[in-house]
Structure 1
């Protein structure tokens, strides 16, 4: 079945073969969070993005293969409820942006900053810091060789808008500016967006609406 990014809690994962990586997307409850397992096709090394909840489901994706690292996109609890259990079982290194580590109850072994690289075997993810949803929210960019860019945006960018800034004009302005300048101004329309909840999208599908998002203020 062709990958469309649509997953449901309790349903089957969606698997996508990229150049260099196999991407597995799964949804976990109770807040319909997405988690993404990236597996290097050369080495078998694996990285999990957001151990959101339901450790047994996430561990079941590994197929007994080692898990090198878990990257948490931001400090909100619904994105790391299974982190302790996954790390205890696998010994994976924990990683998150330095500005959010204090809000994650599991210690962060690898504090991340803008421009850092996260290795997945022979593949590389670039850390992009987007301030607004939380102080240390990150997007991870995989620039697929010979293909399109892929970005894992946590709760900073969704189909239809940027992440929730809880009524703060300052945080919204920061987030929309970072999303526009660091993602839309840099990356092409075919860039595939994998958010922290719900369906995937592309930058091309969302780009025409940036002005609307600014005008409405959320």
Structure 2
């Protein structure tokens, strides 16, 4: 199993390419489709998987679906998230980038402006514990809600793509209306039951391991984020 990482878009989202060397699954194509196409030019891409449907994880989807004619996979419970993202950008004129919004708007408002073409929101549902075959590889879907209702992580060959559920130093951002801190803590606890050596590859930033993060869960609960 090989993982290729591309850091794309205004929030520096990790787009992961999971491959056995011939077949590939592209996870969280957040922006810059031309770079993703170039990085997969030697592979046969069988599907796109979204750990969740926030704007910074999906903006390249339309162009990639056109190029590859592949399904977009997401958890059934994620259905309300993209419509909420669209309602927000139509109301405010820019994407909601969480705690980075004010800084990005002050530096250059165009960074959070929507592109002319947006994903239509169509996806093929996947469920908890469902297996996805990527050539010779078998990946397992884990439903890890909290950051969003249908957030998922993907476990393959001792590697965990955790989306925005678990990062070095704690869980992903939560707050109303579609995220919940106690729920994400339950998801984090589930992920940290995996073997110590499981390598965690988050939706933004650097990797970590289960053994590194497990001792700190009580600290995260106490601080409330």
- Is TM > 0.5 for Structure 1 vs Structure 2? yes
Task: Tell me what 1:150 maps to.
Answer: 159
Equivalent residues, number: 188
How is 1:76-155 mapped onto 2 (pairs within 5 angstroms)? 76-104=54-82, 105-142=119-156, 144=157, 149-155=158-164
Structure 1 regions of 5+ residues with no counterpart? 1-20
Cα deviation, residue 48, structure 1: 0.3
Partner SS state of residue 147, structure 2: coil
Contact 1:159 / 1:200 at 8 angstroms: preserved in 2? yes
Deviations 1:138-189 (A, max 9, x none): 00001x2xxxx21001000000000101278x81111101210x2112x111
Contact 1:95 / 1:108 at 8 angstroms: preserved in 2? no
Task: Tell me what 1:189 maps to.
Answer: 196
**1:52 correspondence with 2:66:** no
Partner SS state of residue 187, structure 2: helix
Cα deviation, residue 103, structure 1: 3.3
**1:32 correspondence with 2:36:** no
Partner SS state of residue 127, structure 1: strand
Within 2, Cα distance between the matches of 1:112 and 1:106?
18
Between 1:89-98 and 1:108-117, the stretch displaced more is 108-117
Within 2, Cα distance between the matches of 1:84 and 1:39?
21
Between 1:95-104 and 1:205-214, the stretch displaced more is 95-104
Deviations 1:32-76 (A, max 9, x none): 1000111123xx111100111000111111124321100011011
Deviations 1:11-50 (A, max 9, x none): xxxxxxxxxx121011012111000111123xx1111001
Deviations 1:94-136 (A, max 9, x none): 1001111343443444201111111111211111111110000
Contact 2:9 / 2:56 at 8 angstroms: preserved in 1? no
Of Structure 1 and Structure 2, which has the larger fraction of its residues in helix? 2
Cα deviation, residue 198, structure 1: 0.5
TM-score normalised according to structure 1 size = 0.82
TM-score normalised according to structure 2 size = 0.79
Partner SS state of residue 209, structure 1: helix
Structure 2 regions of 5+ residues with no counterpart? 83-118
| 176, 182, 185: which one aligns with 2:185 | 176
Within 2, Cα distance between the matches of 1:121 and 1:62?
15
Within 2, Cα distance between the matches of 1:81 and 1:158?
22
Task: Tell me what 2:104 maps to.
Answer: none
- Give the CA RMSD over aligned residues: 1.6
